[in-house]
Amino acid sequence: MKVLITGAAGQLGLALTRTQPSNVQVVRLARAELDITDPNALLAVLTLHKPNVVINAAAYTLVDQAQSDPQSAEQVNAVAPGAIALACHRAQARLIHVSTDYVFDGTAHQPYLPESTTQPLGVYGASKRRGEIAVLQALGTDALVVRSSWLYAATARNFLTRMLELMRERPQLKIVMDQIGAPTLADDLAQALWTLTDGRLNGIQHWCNSGVASWYDFAVAIAEEAHTRGLLAQIPSLLPIISADYPTPAVRPHFSVLDKRRTEVALGVVAPHWRSSLRCALDTLTPTLTLGRPS
């Protein structure tokens, strides 16, 4: 099997590289190597490489910046997926398009099903939803859209790496406690996407790590696990606050947990709990100090 990955230099693209199966030939294309909004460039690349599957891991993920730069978010998250889908249709390649929990408004009281009504709160979520629609319209029953949530890795810039930076710099941090989701390790999502390349599922699927957490819960776990591993000299004071105390340009959903049970059953696997995956991510980092050494 040959798989072409767009957004190969991004957080998910790098995770796909780390978890690549040995029996798969991969073509990795970063933003500088392929303009995913250009239909002609897309078709030329697919004609050249002839992939069986395309994984669209490219996305504009700057949630707050999207509020002041909606055109860029629209081009990458909405226009490009439609162009990729049409190119895949013409080249007879299967497309796996990655989307987000931010297509929901967060007013639910139970995990969102793939068919739950979408109602994005900001530019980022709205652009991602339009990208989903474009893919579904272009490919019909052959389309596969995989939504995930709160993606992070031990590399790149994300909540985990930012928290580690701030926890080393400050004795006290205030963390939002009234936004609930499922932190998901990029490598876990990547492994699920590799499994999905076999074509057994289509439509909209949900995949994230198991369990739920607030950003505050996630930060507390990061501090505790990082301190245990010698990544933090001491655990800072973490104070829970509500979203209103920390206003941001983009409004986030208060509850965006995804119901992934159907996907788990279809794949015959259960997603790892987010805390165990956090431990795996932190285990890849080099301690900045040695704890417990006799003086």
The model's pLDDT over 87-140, given as tens digits with 9 standing for 90+, comes to 999 999 999 999 999 999 999 999 999 999 999 999 999 999 999 999 999 999
Mean per-residue pLDDT, 194-200: 93
Phi, psi for residue 3 in degrees, rounded to 5 = -125, 130
Question: Average pLDDT of 250-256?
Answer: 97
Average confidence (pLDDT) over 249-277 = 96
The pair of structure tokens assigned to 241 is 């606050």
What are the residue boundaries of the structural domains of the chain, listed by start?
2-151+184-210+256-272
Q: Which of 212, 207, 213, 211 is CA-nearest to residue 269? A: 207
CATH topology of domain 2-151+184-210+256-272: Rossmann fold (3.40.50)
Please identify which residue in the block is written with the tokens 């780390």. 18
SS3 (DSSP) at 163: helix
pLDDT value of residue 200: 87
Rounded Cα gap, residues 162 and 294, in angstroms:
31
Question: Distance of CA 287 to CAs 101, 164, 188, 220, 238, Å?
Answer: 33, 12, 23, 18, 21
- Distance of alpha carbon 212 from alpha carbon 217, whole angstroms: 9
Q: Is the pLDDT of residue 292 over 50?
A: no
Instruction: Express each pLDDT in 167-186 by its tens digit.
Output: 999 999 999 999 999 999 99
Which among 256, 249, 70 is positioned nearest to 151, based on CA atoms?
A: 256
Distance CA 45, CA 237 (A): 51
List residues with catalytic annotation.
Answer: 124
Q: Cα dist. 9→47, 95, 135, 150, 279 in Å?
A: 22, 19, 22, 19, 24
289 pLDDT above the threshold of 80: no
Query: For the whole model, what pTM was predicted?
Result: 0.93
